[in-house]
Structure 1
Amino acid sequence: MDEIATIEKANQLAIEYLDNVTDRRVFPDEDGLAGLKAFEEALPSQPSDPAETLHLLNKYGTPATVTSNGGRYFGFVIGATLPAAAVAERLAAAWDQCGSSFVNAPVAAKLEEIAADWVLDILDLPRESRIGFGTSATACGLSVLAVARRTLLKRKGWDIDADGLIGAPEVKLIIPETVHVTVKKAAKLLGFGLNRLIIAPCDDKGRVDVTQLPELDDLSILCLQAGEVNMGEFDRFPELIEIARAADAWVHVDGAFGLWARASKSKKHLTTGVELADSWTTDGHKWLNTPYDGAMAICRDGQAFAQTLNSDAVYSTAEPYAQKNLVLEFSRRARGIPIWAALRSLGRQGVDDMVTKHCAQAQRMAEGLKALGVTVLNSVVINQVLCTLGSEEKNAALLQRISDEGEVWFGPSKWQGASVFRLSVSSWRTTDDDIDRAIASIGRAIEAN
């Protein structure tokens, strides 16, 4: 089969998959999982027809997928890919551009430049900021924390680029006790030392307690949260950032999904003051519903950002704010293209409508679960619903029955050391009927216990 015919066949299979996405099990059944053994083969010694590989993928891979691209997946904050983002991703793959700089990919550079401007606009963040389109909030968090440390040390006259960290003044990293694990991972990779992190106590909603904020100084990085991963709550940005600014500390906001609340007129108040921070991270593949590997590192000081991550070489220099100077990778695909496409197709009102709808659906879910006798632990301020049946055993039994039935899927979590389960509403495909079907499925599972 020739190249074009194989691509056409792949497109046909993808269309068939999407045609059935609303009717598919959300989590694969035992037969689907067992079929994965078909991939357990030795490395082939000879070339083969790409069509054979495509057939193998479809026959045994498709039945083993989790239908996170549907409307009844509530396991993590994973948005189904919007049609405009999907087709942009498909065409960009055919272009096969190395989105490092204008000279490598003029169209990628232009679209990512526009996407960055639009993101700053819709999130109402300082317009002088620069955005690096990275792989994940983990990678983007690592980038901006590196910028923060370099900047604070430079103010003290220390050149970390030339002299490294040995002998340097210590930069302290202050994190909420509810901080997402990706921030800890970035801190570990940057050498902050997990045992040297300073923990900021939080209240019963997972927000940093302003009255117990550790002492800050001009060698401090304070991490705050826009959308705590369990409760969905937001730190008190105005008060906390005022304290940090008085100490000349750097403030970073982890807003992997919650930062998109700023795009909703009814929810923007939750983020008041977040624009006063120095850096932010957020994902497109969560609440904006773009494909995976679509995150953003946002830094107010664009020059410091580009200097920290600069990767100009004698054979490859580029414009100061080329993406290769704002992300970890030198060679990269243009992840900002589907973000541009999503924003262009939705527009300001479309993003507002989607975020607002999901928040209302989360409330609908919470009320339905309460009627079943489920304890809802949070205030459901945005799209997170945190629940328990009262014991780890009951929660585990519920989750197993939900997985076995396949009507919906969501997963376990921990809150203040106790077993809980969490439902996240973030797919553009999710309808109110999907919410009601989820409630009914949970009701059946509770009755079966």
Structure 2
Amino acid sequence: MADASDALDRARAHTQAWLDSLDSRAVPPRAGVDEIIQRLGRELPDGPTDATDVIDLLAEACEPGLTAMPSGRFFGFVIGGTHPAALAADWLTSAWDQNAGLRNIAPAHSAVEDVAEGWLLDLLGLPTDAAVGFVTGATMANFTGLAAGREAVLSRVGWDTGRHGLAGSPGVRVMVGAERHDSVDLVLRYLGLGEPEPIAADDQGRIDVTALRDALADGPDRPTIVVLQAGNLHSGAFDPFADAIAAAHEHGAWVHIDGAFGLFAGASPVYRHLVAGHGAADSWSTDAHKTLNVPYDCGLVIVRDAAVLRKAMSMHGAYLIRDEAGDPFEKVPELSRRGRAIPVWAVLRAMGRTGAASLVEGLAGNARSFADGIAQIPGAHVLNDVVFTQVCATFGDDALTREVVRLMMEDGTAWTTGSVWRGQAVLRISVSNWSTTSGDVERTLVALRAAVDQATATSR
């Protein structure tokens, strides 16, 4: 264990140096894949290497190729940084090295998971008897919730998916908003449910409830799932849950809410109205490494009917030491997995109810500051109603907007991603990091103003 101690000391030193660099370093990486491979060395050594030397080589070779994603100035993609309590807890999770699948084998993790599960349901305003599964990310959370939905709606018409599969079944009709996240389609493919039926959305990406009602009434009479969203990828908008869920349930549909980042609006009294009525759904998904700011990988699936979730996900093996209360692996696709509940518990314990609300309100407040600042830039236009943490802006025609995006990446002060929304090229800002300050926002706006000025001057 002396070797382990020395290696951990070196890892801690490199970690601290990395964290200390985040405020001053450029956000994009300085080196590409080929250069880093050369630094690491392609050939596997014939003999052993001291663990401390391995850590030094890894850290020093990779450092130029690291993107400052934990920086308060990373606004590309909806991914948070890691809260200090969650980071430290994640180190313990790795050191404890517990396989979190079985309750009797890993009672410490199961206890943490039980507590964290209760806290999450309370914080998000969801049914207190719902089951929570800790998965890899939002995609697998959607997969698990929709697998439970598939199980439920087919069981209602007497079809046993576990025994017979899907061949010969009545099939499942899946309805989604026209502006759902692409991962929903991916998951439906994984589940053998094919392409979904898109329902019209408004100019902010919210599903049109009238169109949903009409589709439910006019379509084939077969098992149905409706997928709604809490937080549109571009606008941050939320579907009208109360009306949409009522319409779906009138036709016996299972309702799943994809709340990858937006479900945590329920943790704030200021933003809770955005998820009004969401508690009537049947399943929900979110991603703790987004708004909650825990390390990868930690998606969360929540299913109202725990028995349906276990039927869809569980397996049996004579060698497994089962617990009558149920085991964590019965709620997720994996049998073996790391203790994902530990960093979730740690960040919730560190922040408390008021801290979680402040986190959400800070993220949304910074997004509002971005929108206000962009509105002051000549030629700039914010396209979305900034209701939560997403901002989409244009700076003239598509070519000029794309050039602004390129110049921002070249400058390196912040990472702001280009995208296309409703047929227009946009610069998209996603505010997800707990450590983003008003100073980070202003530094980014200064760089953005300079990029717009340069792009405009070049285009003349």
**Equivalent residue number for residue 435 of structure 1:** 441
Maintained 8 Å contact 2:383/2:394: yes
Maintained 8 Å contact 2:105/2:321: no
**Equivalent residue number for residue 97 of structure 1:** 98
**Equivalent residue number for residue 55 of structure 1:** 56
**Equivalent residue number for residue 352 of structure 1:** 357
**Equivalent residue number for residue 303 of structure 1:** 307
Q: 2:307 matched to 1:328?
A: no
Maintained 8 Å contact 2:137/2:299: yes
Matching residue's letter, 2:413: E
**Equivalent residue number for residue 420 of structure 2:** 414
**Equivalent residue number for residue 198 of structure 2:** 199
The CA distance in 1 between the partners of 2:368 and 2:401, in whole Å, is 21
Q: 2:400 matched to 1:394?
A: yes
Counterparts in 2 of 1:249 and 1:393: CA distance versus 1, 3 Å: same
**Equivalent residue number for residue 111 of structure 1:** 112
TM (norm. structure 1) is 0.96
Counterparts in 2 of 1:4 and 1:401: CA distance versus 1, 3 Å: same
Q: 2:174 matched to 1:168?
A: no
> Secondary structure of the residue that 2:428 maps to in structure 1?
strand
Offset at residue 402 of structure 1 (A): 1.3
- Structure 1, residues 357-394: CA drift from partner, whole Å, max 9, x if none? 11111111111111113210001100100111233322
Maintained 8 Å contact 1:32/1:63: no
Which structure 2 segments of 5+ residues have no match?
456-460
The CA distance in 1 between the partners of 2:409 and 2:246, in whole Å, is 46
> Secondary structure of the residue that 1:174 maps to in structure 2?
strand
**Equivalent residue number for residue 293 of structure 1:** 297
Maintained 8 Å contact 2:173/2:222: no
Offset at residue 312 of structure 1 (A): 2.8
Counterparts in 2 of 1:103 and 1:31: CA distance versus 1, 3 Å: closer
**Equivalent residue number for residue 368 of structure 1:** 373
Offset at residue 413 of structure 1 (A): 1.3
Q: 2:12 matched to 1:7?
A: no
The CA distance in 2 between the partners of 1:251 and 1:35, in whole Å, is 46
Please identify, of 45-54 and 344-353, the stretch whose mean Cα deviation from structure 2 is larger: 45-54
Matching residue's letter, 1:124: G
Counterparts of 1:262-273 in structure 2, within 5 Å, are 262-273=266-277
2:316 aligned residue (312, 337, 340)? 312
The CA distance in 2 between the partners of 1:281 and 1:318, in whole Å, is 26
Maintained 8 Å contact 1:123/1:262: yes
**Equivalent residue number for residue 247 of structure 1:** 251
The CA distance in 2 between the partners of 1:385 and 1:92, in whole Å, is 35
Matching residue's letter, 1:64: G
> Secondary structure of the residue that 2:216 maps to in structure 1?
coil
> Secondary structure of the residue that 1:421 maps to in structure 2?
strand
Q: 2:82 matched to 1:77?
A: no
The CA distance in 2 between the partners of 1:270 and 1:93, in whole Å, is 36
**Equivalent residue number for residue 39 of structure 1:** 40
Offset at residue 25 of structure 1 (A): 1.2
**Equivalent residue number for residue 231 of structure 1:** 235
Matching residue's letter, 1:25: A
The CA distance in 1 between the partners of 2:398 and 2:321, in whole Å, is 56
The CA distance in 2 between the partners of 1:252 and 1:323, in whole Å, is 21
The CA distance in 2 between the partners of 1:208 and 1:321, in whole Å, is 37
The CA distance in 2 between the partners of 1:287 and 1:395, in whole Å, is 28
- Structure 1, residues 196-227: CA drift from partner, whole Å, max 9, x if none? x2111111110111121121656110000000
Offset at residue 29 of structure 1 (A): 2.8
Identity of aligned residues (%): 36
**Equivalent residue number for residue 423 of structure 1:** 429
Matching residue's letter, 2:191: L
